[in-house]
Structures are given as C-alpha cells and as structure tokens.
Amino acid sequence: MRTYKEALKMFKFNFPSIILFEIVFKLLAAAVLVPFLYTVINMSVMLADIEYLTTSTLKAYLMAPSTYALAFIVLLVVSLYLLIDISGLIYAMEASHREEKISVIVILLKGVANALRVINPRNWGVMSYVLFILPITSSVMISGSITTVQMPDFLERFISDNDFIINILIAIYVVIAIISVFRIFSLNYFALYKVDYKEAKRLSKNTIKQNFFKMLFGLLVCNIVINAVLFLLQGALATALAGVLGKIVSAKAFRFIFEVGVQIICLVLYLIFSVTATPLIYAFICRRFYELEGDAGYEEFLEVKEKRNKRKKKALTEEERKRKDKVAFLVFLALAILLNSIYIYLAVSNRANLSVLYSTRVSVTAHRGDSMNAPENTMAAIILADENQADVIEIDVRQTADGVLVLMHDENLSRTTGYDGRVGRVDYALLETLDAGSYFSDIYTGEPIPTLEEALEYGAQHNIFYNIELKPASTDKDYVQSVVSLIEEYDYVDDCVVSSMDYDSLVELKQINEDIKTVVILSIVVGDVSEMEYVDGFSIRHNFVTAGLVEKIHQEGKDIYVWTVNSEEKIKNLLLLDVDSIITDNPYKTKEIIYNANQNIITDWIQRLINEY
C-alpha cells in the first residue's frame, strides 16, 4: 500500500505537466499516426494487387509479402510513438522523485531525444519490447478501443473463422507480456543511465529477479483498479442519467436520448482515462524502481548532467526558462491542433463542398424498418416505415436450420428475443414461439419473427421497395438460391435490391439472376471499390463518404447508399454530396429534413462558409 501512495504522490507532484504532455502528445500522434496508417493500408492493398479489401480478397491480401513489409513499418512507427511517451513519463517521474518541477516541453523533448537512440543498432530491441508490454501499460486504451471501435464485418468473420489460431496467438502474446515484466525496469535504465538496451535488460533482470511475482501482482492490481474505476464511473453516471431523464423526457424519447447520453459519458471518461491511466501505471513502476534500486549509481548520472550544464555559454534564469518553455509548449499545442484540424477537415468532415442547393432527389431507406419507433425486422417496423413514407425498407435475412428464410439481423437470437441460440441451428417452429417485440416496448409484446415470404407478400400488396440484406452463415444450405427463388416467385426482381457484406454471395446471386440489382456493404473504404464487377451499388458507412468517392461511383454508373445516419447535420452534408440513398433509423424525420432542406439555405450556406474558412 505504501508503494501505491508514494506513486500517487509522484504523479501529483508534476500532475499538470504530465497531463498536458499526454494531451499534447496524443493530439500530435492522432494528427500524424491516423493519416499515416490509413495511407499505409491503402498502399498495402494496391501492392497486394487487389482493388478492394473485403471477405473475398482478405486471403490474397494476407498472402502478399508487401502486406507484412508495410505492417513491419507500421509497427516500427507505433513503437517509436510508445517509446517517446514512456520515456517522457520516466523523466517526469524522475523529476517528481527528486521533487523538481518539470515543464511539458522538457518532458516532450527528453522523450523524443531518448527515443531517437534507437538509431543505434544495439538499441533496436527496445522497439519490440514496448509493443510486448502494451497490455500492462495501456490496458485502458486497449479495452476502450475494443469496446468503442466497430470492427469491419469481414474482419469479424475472418477472426470467427480462425478463432483457434487467433486465440493461440493472443495466448502467446500474453505469455510474452508476462515474461517481459522481468525487463520492466529496462526502460528506466535505458532512459536515465544512457546505457544500451542490452545492458538495460541485464540491469533490470538483476534488480527484479527476487521480486518478479510481487511486481507482476502489483501491475495487475494497478490495471484492475483503474479499469474497475472507469467501469464503475460509467455505470454510476449512466444510472444518474437514467434517473434524470426519467423525470424530464417522455418514455418514447427516453431510449434514444439515454443511448446518446451514455455514448457521450463513455467517450468523455475514456478520453480522461486515456491521458491518466498510463502515467499512473508508470508512476507505480518508477516508484518500485526507486525502492528496489535505491539511488545507487545516480551520482555518475548527476555528474554527467552537471558537466553538460557547465559547458553552456549562458545560464538561463528561472524566469527566462519558464518563458521559453511556455512559448515552446504553445507552439507544440498549436501545431497539434492545426494538424488535427487539417486531418479532420480533409478526411472526415466533407465540408469542402460549398454548393448552395441541397439535393432532394435522395431516397430514404428505413433501417430494419422504422427501427427507432418499432422493434427492428418485424412486420410492425415494416408497416410503420411504409406509413412514415420511407422510399425503401431495409430488412436482414437469415436461414433457419430447416431452410426457412426469416428476418433477423443478429446470428444469435438473444438480443431481440431473449433466447440464447443461433438462427441457423434451430428450426422455424421454435422461432414461431419467440417474442421479438417486448425487448423494445410492452406495446409490442408477442410480435413474431416474420419470414421473408411474409414480407414480400405484404410488400407486393403495398408497393414496397425492399433492400434485402443477405446474412450468410456457415449453417446455410442453398441460401442464395432460396432468396432468389422467393424474389422471382413474388415478381420482386424490379422492386428490390439485394445487399450484403459478403461479396461472394452477391456474385453467386448475379450468376443465378443477373437482373437483380446488388449492393455491396462496406464498413471501411480501402482501395478502388468502384472496380467490383458484380455490384450495381455501394452501401458505405457515412464517415467514409467523400465528394470524390461519390463522383467516382457515379461515373461508373452505380449508386451509393450511406448508413446509418440520423442527425440533421449529417443528412444535410450527404445531400450536398448528392448520394443516392440515406439509410436511417427514423425515416419520417429524415424525409422531413430533406423536404425542408432548402428553406434555410442562405443561413445554412453562410454557416458552412464560416466552418470552411
């Protein structure tokens, strides 16, 4: 317990500088690393001689030598980033240990200077080491990324299909991370004593060999406590939000506002903990380093430092030093903000288009029916979407064990019905007994899971245009053929599009009936997707849609659908880009926004102009 208290004391002594360093450094990293990684991924796709990255091309991508060469470069860059961060924190904790104040700019410069020592071949090993200790030093960042970042479906499917190998690799990585605790002080020796990495490893092993399990236990406790505090805060704030909303908003609006509020709470807490967790963990590591090593050997280090200071031609006064540090910090902060603004502007915002008029030709696709106001993929959601003027109704299709095609998004039935089982492993007779509505609202208690045939029959009677999304699974039998047969039986060839994330299923469908329009769904856009031969359109996540991409797809004579968009600002941005269909959870609101889009066109245009410049 004493170690934890002393670690917190070290952290608090230079708390403002440490937190500002983490903020500034992560801003710079986001501005540089994100576009760098995106560029490398695109380059790796091109060098692998494939036009796009999806389920059917993933194997060829992984077989290409260039993929691993570029992956190695990415790992080197990420390692350098981590080394700068950790080195800076070690210097900050060293200053706190000696009760000396240290500025943000000094932490940053010392971190960079120490990281650049990897130019020496004798220090190359440190690059792999910082990657292996990631689970120990950055558990909050890793857990937050896993829970907040949506993985592309084709990658999820690849992991699912190779789960045994993936689990083995994860286990090996965890074992290496645990073994690396023997070297946990190597970065302290490497940074503070200026020894090469081989010598730093030896010193660390000698220091910790009698205290390995105690150190490992201490690190586990640190990580568990920090993540537990984050989890409890999320739960407490979510509970408080629910209590407040229950008193001030209607039951109908509660679900949507609560979900948005919880997302904001989780994001804010994640950002706070992302700049505090790693410094806290390194405060503990450095505190244990001082307890086990003492101050032995620091005399030589201090002599070198003193001689270097004496060689300076002019000593800076304390006031001059603070002033220079402040100016340098502001320059770095301004650079970080500028780079981030440029990146967000070019890669995300799509606000370069200053067109005056909004396009109102776009169709509105109801996502899983009117899923904001009725339980998804039910006849109730389809009927309500039709009543609320949706131009297209999107439905998800899966196959039961006995070959019946039903409307269901998830492979597992538990989220919407409470039954823990996979669609493809149970017969339709079981599905008929399940309640697919009460999870949404008591009003819809007893709402059944509809079949594709029921949806097509109702659609034919009410002139509904469907976007039928294929959800193939390993249990399917003649799945695509069965879907095509029903489409043909109900004369729906011209009144639907068939979409899927599985490109192979669309190829199979086109080979059966080339007149059915197909749309491939992409979670990310990598490579030249317009070259995909067997599709008539693309359904792309909204944050990857740019004016250039829309223009390129339209030049190919194909359509672009965008998912899933609910806010007025995003809808209007997409109208400016002239997309063909907006997929939304709230079709009535989206239709209303499109219908009234040009009523406030002048003020909207001025606002976009301000945002632009």
Residues with catalytic roles: 367, 409
Nearest Cα neighbor of 357 from 601, 573, 577, 603 is 601
d(CA 248, CA 213): 52
Q: Are 49 and 64 in contact (CB under 8 A)?
A: yes
d(CA 459, CA 294): 78
Q: What one-letter code names the amino acid at 313?
A: K
Bin 252: left if φ > 0, else alpha if -120 < ψ < 50, else beta: alpha
d(CA 565, CA 559): 17
3-state DSSP of 382-425: HHHHHHCCCCEEEEEEEECCCCCEEECCCCECHHHHCCCCEHHH
Report the alpha-carbon angle 152-567-517, nearest 5: 55
3-state DSSP of 84-128: HHHHHHHHHHHHHHCCCCCCHHHHHHHHHHHHHHHHCHHHCHHHH
Sequence-distant (6+) residues with CB within 8 A of 611 are: 349, 351
Report the alpha-carbon angle 546-502-551, nearest 5: 20
562 sits in which H/E element: strand 559-563
d(CA 171, CA 174): 5
Sequence-distant (6+) residues with CB within 8 A of 405 are: 397, 398, 399, 451, 452, 453, 482, 483, 486
CB atoms within 10 A of CB 307: 9
Q: Are 428 and 408 in contact (CB under 8 A)?
A: no
Q: What one-letter code names the amino acid at 88?
A: G
Copy the structure tokens of residue 412: 């597992």
Nearest Cα neighbor of 332 from 8, 20, 7, 70 is 20
Q: What is the DSSP letter of 286?
A: H
First-to-last CA distance in the chain?
54
Q: Are 434 and 416 in contact (CB under 8 A)?
A: no
Share in percent of the chain as helix, strand, coil (round to 5): 65, 10, 25
